[in-house]
Amino acid sequence: MGGRHRAVAGTRGGRYDAGVAVFAKVTEAFVAELDMATEAHLDWTRRVLRCAVLRTPPGEDVMAADAHERCRFGRWFGEQRERFEERDAAAAGRVAQNHQRMHDAMRRLCTAILDHGRGDAADLAIFERAQTDLVADLAQLKTDVLARSARHDVLTGLPLRHGLEDEFHRCLSAARRHAAELVVVLLDVDHFKQVNDRHGHAVGDLALQHVAALLMAQSRAGEPLLRFGGEEFLALLAASEPGGAEQAVERMLQTLRNTPLRLPDGSRLDLRVSAGLARVGPDETLDGALARADRALYAAKAAGRDRWRWAA
């Protein structure tokens, strides 16, 4: 397996819930910054209105040629541009374009008002349209950020399980197109409760991050890896040749055997996982495949852990 996919998150344990709370705070901070930077244009608009009524210059963050980079929103957007583009490059481009068009139109309006007492209706129309489009894109961005915060796990960087059904059908269709089998794999960290009991939840968090990173490193592009529960992960594998799924899962287990977690005090912690595999049958549902993979996982645990088993 080799590419990067992320995992879904379940809700077992206060440690995971705390991680989600931290992620929520980060998201809230980003949204608050977005709101404040956007609201800064209200003050900007008030100064423009004073220019129109009292003929007073509105300031360099309106009149300068680079005013779209000087205003509070422009500065903030410039700092956050990369994050915007990661989420939606096209929308980020529209935001930048409409923000500059809005400033350029208002600069022309204010210049005309200060020089002649009257602006051009065409410039006003450009300003109004650019502002409307900008507000719409920012509102959609805010919605997307909030939605993403509910779908991803801050602790491991893996997606939450909300989109698992869609991923299952996507992978199933892709496997059938390529005459491959879709295999559902459930992986569970062995003796994880002992890790928390002996080392504390902070080390437990490091252990989950360590396992997630190693599993991701062994994942192929197009084959999702999700955090499925407190210490459980789920992978969807496309097996195009006999033994492909077993080899992929064995590589995961062997990577963990070969890569102990180095703790802050310099000591090392060996981590192991057990896995249950289930081939998705014709017309089988996700729930059916998950139930069989879960039974196979328990069989692997009963057989001594640090191994995999196929579902019947």
Question: Which of 231, 241, 250, 284 is an active site residue?
Answer: 231
Cα–Cα separations (whole angstroms), residue 74 to 95, 159, 167: 10, 31, 37
Cα–Cα separations (whole angstroms), residue 89 to 59, 66, 81, 103, 111: 31, 22, 9, 21, 33
Dihedral class, residue 201 (left if φ above 0, else alpha if ψ from -120 to 50, else beta):
alpha
The rounded distance, in Å, linking the Cα atoms of 213 and 215 is 6
Residue 96, token pair as written in the block: 């930048």
**E strand segments, the chain:** 181-189, 225-227, 232-239, 261-262, 268-269, 273-279, 308-310
The rounded distance, in Å, linking the Cα atoms of 284 and 282 is 5
Determine contact, residues 167/114, Cβ cutoff 8 Å.
Answer: no
The rounded distance, in Å, linking the Cα atoms of 67 and 69 is 5
Question: Catalytic residue at 33?
Answer: no
Per the DSSP assignment, residues forming a β-bridge with 237 are 183
- Please return the burial class of 219, using the count of CB atoms within 10 Å of its CB with bins 0-12, 13-18 and 19+: buried
Active site residues: 231
